[in-house]
Structure 1
């Protein structure tokens, strides 16, 4: 998989130590996306990003795992092509790559998010 430096909203790739590697759209693979979406913590992140109107900083998620585990989850999501991360000052901002995922795998993200919502409702009632 080719990982390209992050580009802010389609601009030229960022340079320097603060740039993060992301796969180009054409390098995103379904097995990597499904692996990234197979973890409940990562699904929570994706669900919150899908509901957000823009990017969210890592600290907005209130995950109940250690900082190193949080870093791991965000890295898996980024390297699979599910999210894009960029630095804004000292904050690492996260955005869902919905446009890329919908172009490559039409309906996948909506189906997964719908299933997560149904499961949460079923568990809450149970």
Structure 2
């Protein structure tokens, strides 16, 4: 899509981050894969995440995460880059994301 036709990306301010929105965003396995990937990579282009969903579905998952304040996205040329808003999340809800990720990892490992 030409840059002039792309939607403006909105990101909530730190004070607008809501716990229930955050927990809802993290309650999906595909979105957790995105978050886990970003926890180990500083920034990634949108088409490079290890998920097996249609592009339109992936766009939906990014929107949910972005609107909850979990990720930040920016356009550069014809690519959209995604980063985890870890500093903002830790400022608003200290340790919550790490706790959710640790619990999820244990659940995946079956312990």
User: Normalization by structure 1: what TM-score?
Assistant: 0.80
Secondary structure of 1:65 counterpart: coil
Distance of 2:109 and 2:45 partners within structure 1: 27
- Out of 42-51 and 18-27, give the one that drifted further: 18-27
Question: 1:50 pairs with 15, 19, 39, which one?
Answer: 39
Superposition misfits of 4+ residues, deviation over 2 angstroms: 16-19
Q: Distance in 2 between matches of 1:27 and 1:63?
A: 29
Any residues of structure 2 matched to 1:115-126 within 5 Å, and which? 115-122=103-110
What's the RMSD between the two structures over aligned residues? 1.5
1:61 has 2:49 as partner: yes
Instruction: Could you tell me which runs of 5 or more consecutive residues in structure 1 were left unpaired when the two chains were aligned.
Output: 1-15
Corresponding residue of 2:82: 94
Q: Offset of 1:17 from its aligned partner?
A: 5.1
Aligned to 2:59: 71
Question: Does the Cα contact within 8 Å between 2:44 and 2:81 map onto a contact in 1?
Answer: yes
Greater relative contact order structure (CA < 8 Å, 6+ sep): 2
